[in-house]
């Protein structure tokens, strides 16, 4: 294993550990990758994201159960949290991001990854996760003077709610100047969908989210 130097070489073995319900082996593999010089962002993109996509595909083809799918997601989130000492030590750039899932959305891991990427880039991030009431989203935007609100929508049937949420935020005094970034599977399926829900920007993954928002805010 010591000869492996690129993250994609770890991704297959990582997924195998998860599917065997061996969370510790999966975690140890990630730590080994870090020791071998693989960057945290590469671990997120090529191990965590790649394995989550594969888990989704396996579930869709009825090759794994819902319980296995949930275990894999929970295990990856647990392993991600063990990396936080390496993530939450970036020099700050003065920008702030609030991140939330649209109401009823239970798939949080993609948004968690996006939020962590912003944190690594020096943003102050406020991750609200799933099922946050609109009042709480607005009060968080106000309290932390958020530059950007990231909204994650994984399930197609939440598009209507996403559009309604964006309308409420843009109609409010507190949120009218906050840039709204959307992401999630439905937006990857339909190129202009983000415009139809009146978002300000869209990103297909965590890496793109950073570049899109930096461009919008003319950072650098």
Partner 1 sequence: MSFPKAVSQEAMNAYNKAKKQIEAAVVERAMKDKKDIVQHGDKAEDILRSGISFTSEIMASAMTVGEPGLLKDQIEWSKSRLVHDGVDQEQIKKRFQYFIQEIERQLPQDYSTQIVPFFDWMIRNYSKV
Binding segment for partner 1 (CB under 8 A), chosen from 6-14, 46-54, 140-148, 159-167, is 159-167
Residue closer to partner 1 (CB basis): 91 or 171: 171
- Contact between 60 and partner 1 (CB under 8 A)? yes
Beta-strand ranges (E) seen in 112-220 are: 124-129, 148-152, 179-183, 201-202
Work out which of 149, 166, 186, 203 binds partner 1, going by CB under 8 A: 186
Q: Which two tokens stand for residue 110?
A: 């993609």
- Are residues 159 and 132 in contact, defined by beta-carbon separation less than 8 angstroms? no
- Contact between 41 and partner 1 (CB under 8 A)? no
What is the three-class DSSP state of 119?
helix
**Looking up tokens 């010089």, which residue turns up?**
37
- Contact between 157 and partner 1 (CB under 8 A)? yes
CB 180: neighbour CB atoms within 10 A? 21
- Contact between 66 and partner 1 (CB under 8 A)? no
Work out which of 6, 81, 136, 156 binds partner 1, going by CB under 8 A: 156
CB 177: neighbour CB atoms within 10 A? 11
Work out which of 163, 181, 199, 203 binds partner 1, going by CB under 8 A: 163
Q: Using CB under 8 A as the criterion, which residues of the chain lie in contact with partner 1 when the complex forms? A: 60-62, 156-160, 163, 186, 189-193, 196-197
């Amino acid at each position: 294993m010591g000869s492996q130097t690129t993250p994609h070489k770890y991704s297959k073995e990582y997924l195998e550990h998860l599917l065997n319900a061996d969370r510790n082996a999966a975690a140890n593999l990630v730590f080994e990758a870090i020791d071998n010089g693989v960057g945290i962002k590469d671990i997120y993109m090529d191990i965590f994201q790649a394995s989550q996509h594969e888990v989704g595909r396996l579930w869709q083809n009825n090759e794994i159960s819902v319980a296995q799918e949930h275990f894999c997601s929970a295990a990856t989130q647990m392993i991600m949290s063990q990396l936080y000492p390496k993530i939450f030590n970036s020099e700050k750039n003065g920008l702030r991001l609030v991140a939330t899932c649209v109401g009823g959305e239970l798939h949080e891991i993609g948004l968690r990854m996006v939020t962590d990427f912003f944190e690594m880039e020096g943003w102050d991030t406020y991750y609200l996760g799933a099922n946050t009431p609109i009042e709480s989203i607005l009060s968080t935007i106000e309290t932390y003077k958020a530059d950007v609100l990231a909204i994650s929508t994984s399930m197609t049937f939440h598009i209507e709610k996403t559009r309604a949420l964006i309308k409420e935020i843009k109609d409010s005094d507190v949120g009218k100047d906050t840039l709204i970034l959307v992401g999630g599977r439905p937006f990857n399926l339909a190129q202009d969908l983000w415009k139809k829900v009146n978002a300000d920007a869209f990103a297909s993954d965590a890496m793109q989210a950073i570049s899109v928002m930096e461009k919008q805010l003319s950072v650098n």
